[in-house]
Amino acid sequence: MINKNKPILAIKGGHPVSNVIIPIHKTYLDEEDFKAVEEAMRSTIVSGNGPACMEFEKRLSEYLGVKHVFYTNSCTTALDLAFRAKEFPPDSEVLVPNFTYTSTALGPLLNNLKVKLVDVDPDNGNIDVNKIETSISEKTVAIAPVDYAGNPADMDPIVEIAKKYNLYVVHDTAQSIGSEYKGQKTGTLAHVSTFSFHGTKNLTTGEGGALVTDDDGIAEKVIYMREKGTNKQSFLVDNKDRGYYEYVTIGNSYVQSNILGALGLSQLKKIDWMNARRAEIAEYYIEQLKDLPNIKLPKITQGAKTNWHIFYILVPPEHKYWIMDALRAEGVYANVHYTPLHRNKFYQHLGTDEELPNSMRFFSGLLRLPIYPSLTEEEMKKVVEAVRKVCG
Ligand SMILES: Cc1ncc(COP(=O)(O)O)c(C=O)c1O
């Protein structure tokens, strides 16, 4: 039982654990990053798809062990491209986990496809692999699993089902750079994977993303589509087109500034260190909180290694918002993210709480705690102290 009336609680007028708010997230940027950006600026090569962007793509492809990497201006545009490149008939259906960010659904919707929501594992928010087959219809063409919190979706059964029904798999790896599933990095487990380098992500270029694939056919289309439907890539790289380039297909502008490419390169150099620091923090939280009967700790997919993009606890749903307020009063910022898609006005026609019960179970207990590479030992201890004080 949670005792809400303890006078020592800051929410009841007691002393807070921390006088300064410990935020949920802080972007990690260091001198090397500042220098990389400054050098790119001083080079005056600042437009899209410049040499630093291409070098970032090359290094990222080596890091992930994947053939093609396209650095884009967001994961949302990478998801759009992933579906654009396939040209599925309008109204074809794509299976999307109900617990994800809007962008996973926007990828299909921007391409005139329909979204079918699939319920998730109530303990970790990833697509429930046992609910996929029953969601497949004649119109299903693709599935878009998501790695919530950086914890990989259970990709083996997903890929197996996809093969059985001839489905295209777009793995939304927005949150999982550096995570692994059965010894393989995320980004190598599906036809296409899409990363995010938004300011909140483990590797950041402020805004940004990447579409990665081993499929030469998809890569060939993406090369043109991300550059306004032009063959400018060849003009930039091998000059086959003798100093000019042509408008060859439909497209949009999905490229990133060379300044951000330079930032991506310097961030990539330290991604393993940044992820290892997150793992240390997560392990400390788990060790210090595992005996608390009122909360549940994150469930990691079997055979997977998470990059700890997010650390969450699952609390008794009836006390969730009180716990959130009580933690904030103690100086520890806790928050709730995401809301299940069907709980948003734009998606509410796609399902009900009764049809998607496990998304609601996961969501109704979910509270995120601070985790980022620059979190100090002292702050880690305060987070634990606050959670124990409020939930103990
Ligand atoms: C699962 C998922 N997909 C897509 C996105 C969108 O990423 P971006 O902001 O790079 O477009 C996010 C952002 O948080 C996300 O969590």
Given 212, 235, 269, the domain boundary residue is 269
5 part of a folded domain: no
Q: Which helix (H) or strand (E) holds 247?
A: none
pLDDT for 295: 96
Give the CATH number for residue 93.
Answer: 3.40.640.10
Q: Are residues 132 and 250 in the same domain?
A: yes
The two beta strands, 366-369 and 311-314, are antiparallel
pLDDT for 261: 98
Range of the domain at 141: 31-269
Give the CATH number for residue 289.
Answer: 3.90.1150.10
Q: Are residues 303 and 319 in the same domain?
A: yes
173 part of a folded domain: yes
4 part of a folded domain: no
Q: Are residues 216 and 315 in the same domain?
A: no
Q: Are residues 172 and 110 in the same domain?
A: yes
pLDDT for 241: 56
Q: Are residues 154 and 284 in the same domain?
A: no
Task: Say yes or no: CB of residue 189 within 6 Å of ligand 1.
Answer: no
Given 269, 284, 312, the domain boundary residue is 269
E-assigned strand segments in the chain = 68-72, 93-97, 114-118, 140-143, 168-172, 180-181, 184-185, 192-196, 209-213, 304-305, 311-314, 366-369
Task: Say yes or no: CB of residue 203 within 6 Å of ligand 1.
Answer: no
Q: How far is the CA of 293 from the centre of ligand 1 (A)?
A: 33
pLDDT for 231: 85
pLDDT for 127: 98
pLDDT for 349: 98
Tell me, what amino acid is at 4? K
Q: How far is the CA of 233 from the centre of ligand 1 (A)?
A: 26
Q: How far is the CA of 198 from the centre of ligand 1 (A)?
A: 8
Q: DSSP states of 294-346 as a string?
A: T-BPPPPPTTEE---S-EEEE--GGGHHHHHHHHHHTTB--B-----GGGSGG
3 part of a folded domain: no
Q: How many structural domains are present in the chain?
A: 2
Q: Are residues 150 and 299 in the same domain?
A: no
Cβ atoms of residues 105 and 347 within 8 Å: yes
Q: Are residues 373 and 261 in the same domain?
A: no
SS3 154: coil
The angle at the Cα of 243, spanning 239 to 244, to the nearest 5 degrees, equals 110
Q: How far is the CA of 107 from the centre of ligand 1 (A)?
A: 11
Q: Which two tokens stand for residue 354?
A: 């009764």
125 part of a folded domain: yes
Task: Say yes or no: CB of residue 198 within 6 Å of ligand 1.
Answer: yes
Given 237, 269, 301, the domain boundary residue is 269
| Residue of 70, 75, 204 to mutate, ligand 1, most atoms within 8 A of C-beta | 75
Q: How far is the CA of 71 from the centre of ligand 1 (A)?
A: 14
Q: C-alpha 364: how far from its chain's center?
A: 20
| Whole-number Cα distances in Å, 178 to 78, 147, 152, 198, 332 | 18, 12, 10, 15, 27
pLDDT for 338: 86
Q: Which two tokens stand for residue 44?
A: 């005056």
Query: Cα–Cα distance between 97 and 88 in angstroms, integer?
Result: 20
Which sign, positive or negative, has the C-alpha torsion 129, 132, 134, 135? Answer: positive
Which residues neighbour 89 within 8 Å (Cβ) at sequence distance 6 or greater? none
Q: Are residues 314 and 280 in the same domain?
A: yes
283 part of a folded domain: yes
Q: Are residues 275 and 253 in the same domain?
A: no
Q: Are residues 185 and 306 in the same domain?
A: no
* Digitized pLDDT (tens) for each residue of the chain, 392 residues in all: 889 999 999 999 999 999 999 999 999 999 999 999 999 999 999 999 999 999 999 999 999 999 999 999 999 999 999 999 999 999 999 999 999 999 999 999 999 999 999 999 999 999 999 999 999 999 999 999 999 999 999 999 999 999 999 999 999 999 999 999 999 999 999 999 999 999 999 999 999 999 999 999 999 999 999 999 998 877 777 666 556 788 889 999 999 999 999 999 999 999 999 999 999 999 999 999 999 999 999 999 999 999 999 999 999 999 999 999 999 999 999 999 889 999 999 999 999 999 999 999 999 999 999 999 999 999 999 999 999 999 98
Q: Are residues 93 and 162 in the same domain?
A: yes
Helices 271-289/258-269 angle, 10° precision: 60
299 part of a folded domain: yes
Q: Which helix (H) or strand (E) holds 282?
A: helix 271-289
242 part of a folded domain: yes
pLDDT for 245: 82
Q: At 211, phi and psi to the nearest 5?
A: -100, 125
**In whole angstroms, how large is the CA radius of gyration of the chain?**
22
Q: Are residues 77 and 144 in the same domain?
A: yes
